[in-house]
Amino acid sequence: MELKRVVVTGLGAVTPVGNTPEETWENLVAGKSGAAPITLFDASKFKTQFACEVKGLNMNDYIDRKEARKMDRYTQLALVAATQAVADSKIDAEGVDKDRVGVIFGVGIGGIKTFEDEVKYYGLHEADGPKFNPFFIPKMIADIASGQISIKYGFHGPNYTTTSACASSTNALADAFNVIRLGKASAIVAGGAEAAICACGVGGFNAMHALSTRNDDPEHASRPFSASRDGFIMGEGAGCLILEELEHAKARGAKIYAEMVGEGMSADAHHITASHPEGLGAILVMKNALEDAGLKPEDIDYINVHGTSTHVGDISEAKAIKEVFGESAYKLNISSTKSMTGHLLGAAGAVEAMATVLAVKNDIVPPTINHVEGDNDEELDYNLNFTFNKAQKREVRAAISNTFGFGGHNACVVFKKYAE
């Protein structure tokens, strides 16, 4: 069976550094931080009092006010990104067979704020018995974003959610890619969303000592590959890519951003939260992705790394890159856009894949910000090009995006310039 070719024909994003793909990309290239004091709840008594929130977004521009009240914030963000991507690609245009358009959306946690609110305000503390909102379950469940997107557009194709912690939306992209190249759909609205900046989310990650506590300097707190890093910064948002079978896209005159050519998946099988110290799972996932794409290490020009700004994670990923790419590792550009967006958890993979696609399209690598001279970790090889502080122009023929999740879940996707 000959596999179909898959291309990217639409983008959507709402992130801590921009409420559209264009604004997000512009600010990533400019090295703008999205970190600031938390406004979504009173964090004054928490160890971490800042995060990377979505700012200035009017949900009513995208979602009816009455309908929005029936949705958790993560679903609202998913709908915004999907609405942008569908409009960009025109995959909902008259003549498109909606039975062959699906939705695969990832989320790491789901409606955690809805759960928090229901238990705190409505449910278990009522004197005369529990009284829950009838929309509690539909707002909270992890699969509802993909359902809401398909309902909005009448897309009848494959529809489900991937949940693999911080690898969730990269797994969504990988699944969408495979569904299309096997001929089971013509296009998939693929991506991920997350909105966990709430008391439970921040408090839970604080209890694990996973978050930075640099409350006096939020903008410079996310500093991947710097010795002074002290944890990741919680982010929220959504990213969406329209993946489409090439001939279907050409037949309807769709614009093409890039071609998706491979995916990889693996497990660390090591620890519930920490990556393998030698990067064994990361090595395997990148090797798998390159093999699937039919590319050699020297064909890759850029890696959008997982790079969360944690000690073990940054070191293990850098080791993995050296192992997989050998001498070619020193010719790569490596960057962590989490230094600007924070960690969007289940949405991270989709937003970072979008950045990877635009790096391929525009021949620009966004930076890893917040590194200062001399702030070097003796366990890291600084001969690698981490693209510190300033975007770099270079030819980007092909690029990969890594995401790794709690539980040892690893996923990687590969994009290259589209050519006939």
Contact of 89 with 10, CB cutoff 8 Å: yes
Catalytic site residue from 306, 371, 409, 412: 306
Distance of CA 79 to the CA centre of its chain: 15
Long-range contacts (CB closer than 8 Å, 24 or more residues apart) made by 57-61: 57/14, 57/19
H or E element: which one contains 248?
Answer: helix 246-251
- 166, 198, 240, 412: the catalytic one is 166
Catalytic one among 220, 248, 276, 343? 343
| CB-based contacts of 131-139 (< 8 A; 24+ apart in sequence) | 135/69, 135/70, 138/70, 139/70, 139/71, 139/72, 139/75, 139/111, 139/114
- 338 contacts: CB under 8 Å, gap ≥ 6: 222, 224, 232, 233, 235, 306, 307, 308, 309, 348, 352
Q: SS3 of 369, please?
A: coil
Q: What is the DSSP string of 141-196?
A: -TTHHHHHHHHHHT--S-EEEE-BTBTHHHHHHHHHHHHHHTTS-SEEEEEEEE--
Length of the chain: 420
Helix (H) or strand (E) holding 351: helix 348-362
96: tokens are 């498109």
Q: How far is CA 168 from CA 41, 136, 148, in A?
A: 26, 23, 18
DSSP result, 12-68 = EEEBTTBSSHHHHHHHHHHT----EE--SS--TTSS--EEB---S--GGGTS-HHHH
8-state DSSP, 276: P
As a whole number of angstroms, the distance between CA 147 and CA 20 comes to: 22
Asked if 159 contacts 150 with a C-beta cutoff of 8 angstroms, the reply is yes
Q: Quick count: other Cβ atoms within 10 Å of Cβ 255?
A: 12
Active-site residue 343, yes or no? yes
Q: Are 317 and 402 in contact (CB under 8 A)?
A: yes
Q: What are the two backbone dihedrals, phi and then psi, of residue 23, each rounded to the nearest 5 degrees?
A: -65, -40
3-state secondary structure of 340: helix
- Residues involved in catalysis: 166, 306, 343
